[in-house]
A and B are shown apart, each in its own frame.
Chain A
Amino acid sequence: MSTTADLPTQGTSTAPRAQRPIAARPARVRRRGQSSRTATALSHGVLVLASLIAVLPVLYIFFISLGPDKMDYLHPGQILGKATLANFGKVLGQTDFLTWFLNSILVAGGTCIVGVLIAASTGYAVSRMRFPGLRPLMWSLLVTQMFPIAVLIVPMYYIMANLGLLDSYGGLILVYASTVVPYCAWLLKGYFDTIPVEIDEAGRVDGLSPFGAFWRLILPLARPGLAVAAFYTFLTAWAEVPFASTFLLSSGKYTLAVGLTTFVSQYESQWNLMAATSVLIALPASAFFYLVQKHLVTGLTAGAAKS
Chain B
Amino acid sequence: MTVAVQGTAGQGGRDRGSRPGPVQRLKLSYSKYWYAYAMAAPVVIVLGLLVAYPLGRGIYLTLTDATSLNVGHTVGVNHIPDTFKFVGLHNYQDVLFGPGSYDRFWSHFGWTVMWTALCVVLHYSLGLGLAMLLNQKLRGRTFYRMMLIVPWAVPTFVTVFSWRLMLADGGLVNSVLGSLHLGQPGWLSDPLAQKAAAILVNTWCGVPFMMVSLLGGLQSIPAELYEAAEMDGATAWQRFRHVTLPGLRSVSSTVVLLGIIWTFNQFVIIFLLFGQNAPDVQILVTWAYRLGFGQQPRDYAQSATYGIILLSILIVFTAFYQRWLKRNDQAAI
Contact = CB atoms under 8 A, between A and B. Distances in A.
Interface in B21-75: 32-33, 35-37, 39-40, 42-44, 46-47, 49-51, 53-55, 57-58, 61
Interface in B295-333: 300, 303-304, 306-307, 310-311, 314-315, 318, 332-333
Interface string A268-307: 0001001100110110011001100100111011101111
Contacts of A10: 196, 200
A3 B185 CA distance: 7
A74 interface: yes
A205 interface: no
B36 A151 contact: no
Interface residues of B, dominant DSSP? helix
Contacts of A211: 35, 39
B183 A2 contact: yes
Contacts of B186: 2
B324 to A, nearest CB: 16
Interface residues of B, number: 119
Contact of B154 (A137, A142, A271, A286): A286
Interface stretch (A82-90, A95-103, A117-125): A117-125
Nearest to B230: A32
A241 B268 contact: yes
A58 B267 contact: no
**Residue from A25, A73, A130, A305 whose CB has the most chain B CB atoms within 10 Å:** A305
Nearest to B165: A73
B304 A51 contact: no
A155 B236 contact: no
A20 to B, nearest CB: 7
A64 B168 CA distance: 14
Nearest to A76: B172
A239 B50 contact: no
B307 A43 contact: no
B185 to A, nearest CB: 4
B255 A304 contact: yes
5 contacts: A2-B183, A125-B35, A129-B36, A131-B33, A178-B47
Interface of B: 1-2, 32-33, 35-37, 39-40, 42-44, 46-47, 49-51, 53-55, 57-58, 61, 122, 125-126, 128-130, 132-134, 136-138, 141, 144, 146-159, 161-163, 165-166, 168, 170-172, 177, 182-187, 190, 192-193, 196, 200, 203-204, 208, 212-213, 215-217, 219-220, 230, 235-237, 239-240, 250-251, 254-255, 258, 261-262, 264-265, 267-268, 272, 284-286, 288-289, 292-293, 300, 303-304, 306-307, 310-311, 314-315, 318, 332-333
Interface of A: 1-7, 9-10, 14, 17-22, 25-26, 28-29, 32, 35, 40, 43-44, 46-48, 50-51, 53-58, 60-61, 64, 73-76, 117-119, 121-122, 124-126, 129-133, 137-156, 158-159, 174-175, 177-178, 181-183, 185, 209-211, 214, 235, 238-239, 241-242, 257, 260, 271, 274-275, 278-279, 281-282, 285-286, 289-290, 293, 296-298, 300-302, 304-307
